Amino acid sequence: MGTFMEGRENQKQGEATMANQHLEVLNALDVAKIQWYHFTTIVIAGMGFFTDAYDLFCISMVTKLLGRIYYHENGSTTPGTLPPNVSSAVNGVAFCGTLTGQLFFGWLGDKLGRSKVYCVTLSLMIVCALGSGLSFGKTPTGVMATLCFFRFWLGFGIGGDYPLSATIMSEYSNKKTRGAFIAAVFAMQGIGILAGGIVTIIVTTAFNNRFDAPPYDIDPVGSTVPQADYVWRIILMFGAVPAAMTFYWRMKMPETARYTALVAQNAERAAQDMAKVLQVDLEDETEKEKTNEVAIKSDSEQYGLFSRKFLRRHGLHLLGTSMTWFVFDIAFYSQNLFQKDIFSAVGWIPKAATMNALEELFKISRSQILIALCGTVPGYWFTVAFIDIIGRFWIQISGFFFMTAFMLGLAIPYHYWTIPGHHIGFVVLYGFTFFFANFGPNSTTFIVPAEIFPARVRARCHGISAAAGKAGAIVGSFGFLYAAQNQDKAKTDYGYPAGIGVRNSLFVLAACNLLGLLFTFLVPESKGRSLEEMSGENEELQEIESGFPTVDGLLLLPAYANREKLAMI
């Protein structure tokens, strides 16, 4: 009996020793000074998001060109357009892949580690971006089918980048500047959107100068030169370039110390990995008792994603992060993917028949650059500057509020904005909705899920939240395409049924933003708090180290605890 008790006491001491090592490693990460490796990680992860945004949004610019090339109707007074089902597939299939990838790689990142699967996502993005541009087929249907195939797997790789990049950056950061670092990674999405417009302008200008063509209303066939087929392919294939540039550095990234300490339960290895890239003040772990074989908690004691304990502690949090991302992406992707249609509806972009194919693509990309420069990019970097000052909660609340207000400002006097001479005001208000989308929920919905959940399910919870967002993007990309059609069937795009019109569609998007504001109240503020404090993992470690349970970080001391036990605590 004595031997058993001694063994049990030794096991407890071993667990307490290891718990102390874990706390030491995690505390060192929380207070680590800003170092060069933090910026290196931002660039490595950020270039992934640069590529993500470029690949997801450049397709919206070339869909008009695809319609002219592959779906021209002889005798038609308007240029060819993609049929409704084809347009929906081309615009939305990447989001279906992204949703699937977010769930799969989120799960895999928790099971195998963040760094082990990080290069897989990038490889998919490189191969499929090239494949999208090389889409082959003898018929328009064949080309579109091949394009959709590569776009789906491109989205699958992009989906993996969301939970892995967010989790890696959050687990490397200190608690003082964590929000700014994660926001900086995500802000590269704005640069990617801007780059998509710039690349399109450069390519279209080069081809238009080399192969001059008349407007469609003068020569319907000659307005789309055969060489235009190279234009959209070059634009899509360029997405492989930034991804390939960072592949080597992704391969060299070590596993995050938080994953190694809390999930792999190897504090010594975590300290060694951390010492390779960060200068932190830790005692030499090799001089300590080797306790790697002692698990902090058995698998049965570590609550899982579908356990009652997780539901009790984080169920509402996961609902909040998922629903805010879902309703926001309905509005955000509707605006982004179909801004060319909105601008055409209010007359800011000339009628398609008055331009040749490349000239139309040039003006669409020019409008996207203007919106990106005036609203999208500044919004992202305002978040980087202020998120650790204002906090996630208030930035998200104010973002949803102002997006709702500006959407209503566009929708209520919509007919006024369609009058010639009033287009500038419409574009200004439209730009403000993008500014507050990015200095608001577009950034915070990405940041918060990487902060408030336990390390062992962090990537999965982020993946679930992001997948809910992409479900919203699918609703936005498929639904808005039909909803924004004119209520008069005679004025709809070729092949489309009558919709509710742009004005009523803007009212729907405003309602989505208002719902997002309400769901924000389910999400806790994480500014200035450690990841372990937010997830409750500090309590688990303190409980093991002390031998007593904790609630909200406070030790529960039973009445029979003697003075010797209290002294040990």
Residue 37 predicted with pLDDT over 80: no
Task: Name the burial class of residue 413, with classes exposed (0-12), middle (13-18) and buried (19+) by CB atoms within 10 angstroms of its CB.
Answer: middle
Contact 388, 403 (CB under 8 A): no
Residue 268: per-residue pLDDT: 77
Q: Which residues are within 8 A (CB) of 301 and not within 5 positions of it... i.e. 6 or more apart? A: none
Q: What percent of the chain has pLDDT over 70?
A: 79
First to last CA, the chain: 26
Per the prediction, the chain carries an average pLDDT of 81
Residue 172: per-residue pLDDT: 83
Least confident of 101-105, 229-233, 243-247: 243-247
Cα–Cα distance, 405 to 394 (Å, whole number): 16
Nearest to 273 by CA among 457, 39, 114: 114
pTM of structure: 0.83
For 522, which DSSP code? G
Residue 431 predicted with pLDDT over 50: yes
Mean pLDDT computed over 100-105: 96
The amino acid present at 289, given as its one-letter code, is: E
Q: Higher-confidence residue: 371 or 142?
A: 142
With H, G, I as helix, E, B as strand and everything else as coil, classify residue 555.
strand
DSSP H/E element including 49? helix 36-70
Contact 340, 367 (CB under 8 A): yes
Residue 45 predicted with pLDDT over 90: no
Q: What is the chain's Cα-based Rg? A: 26
**Candidate CATH numbers 1.10.357.10, 3.40.190.10, 3.30.70.270, 1.20.1250.20; the one for domain 33-279+308-544:** 1.20.1250.20
Residue 540: per-residue pLDDT: 57
Residue 171: per-residue pLDDT: 86
Mean pLDDT computed over 354-371: 88
Residue 551: per-residue pLDDT: 42
Q: How confident is the model at residue 291 (pLDDT cuts 50, 70, 90)?
A: very low
Q: How confident is the model at residue 394 (pLDDT cuts 50, 70, 90)?
A: very high
Contact 260, 236 (CB under 8 A): no
Mean pLDDT computed over 516-525: 95
DSSP H/E element including 161? helix 140-172
Q: Higher-confidence residue: 336 or 246?
A: 246
Mean pLDDT computed over 18-22: 51
Least confident of 124-133, 240-249, 253-262: 253-262
- Highest mean pLDDT: which range of 419-423, 515-519, 528-532: 515-519
- Burial readout 67-80 (b: 16 or more C-beta within 10 A, e: otherwise): bbbbbbeeeeeebb
Residue 327: per-residue pLDDT: 95
Instruction: Please give the torsion angle defined by the CA atoms of residues 157, 98, 149 and 68, in that order, rounded to the nearest 10 degrees.
Output: -120
Cα–Cα distance, 301 to 310 (Å, whole number): 12
Q: Which residues are within 8 A (CB) of 170 and not within 5 positions of it... i.e. 6 or more apart? A: 178, 182, 447, 450, 451, 458, 531
Residue 56: per-residue pLDDT: 84
Q: Higher-confidence residue: 196 or 553?
A: 196
Q: How confident is the model at residue 297 (pLDDT cuts 50, 70, 90)?
A: very low
Q: How confident is the model at residue 432 (pLDDT cuts 50, 70, 90)?
A: confident
Model confidence over 70-101: pLDDT tens digits?
A: 998 888 888 988 888 888 888 889 989 999 99
For 307, which DSSP code? S
Q: Which residues are within 8 A (CB) of 304 and not within 5 positions of it... i.e. 6 or more apart? A: 310, 457
Cα–Cα distance, 168 to 436 (Å, whole number): 26
Contact 137, 145 (CB under 8 A): yes
Cα–Cα distance, 544 to 553 (Å, whole number): 12
Q: How confident is the model at residue 331 (pLDDT cuts 50, 70, 90)?
A: confident
Residue 295: per-residue pLDDT: 41
Q: What angle do CA 552, 557, 559 make, to 5 degrees?
A: 145
Contact 259, 171 (CB under 8 A): yes
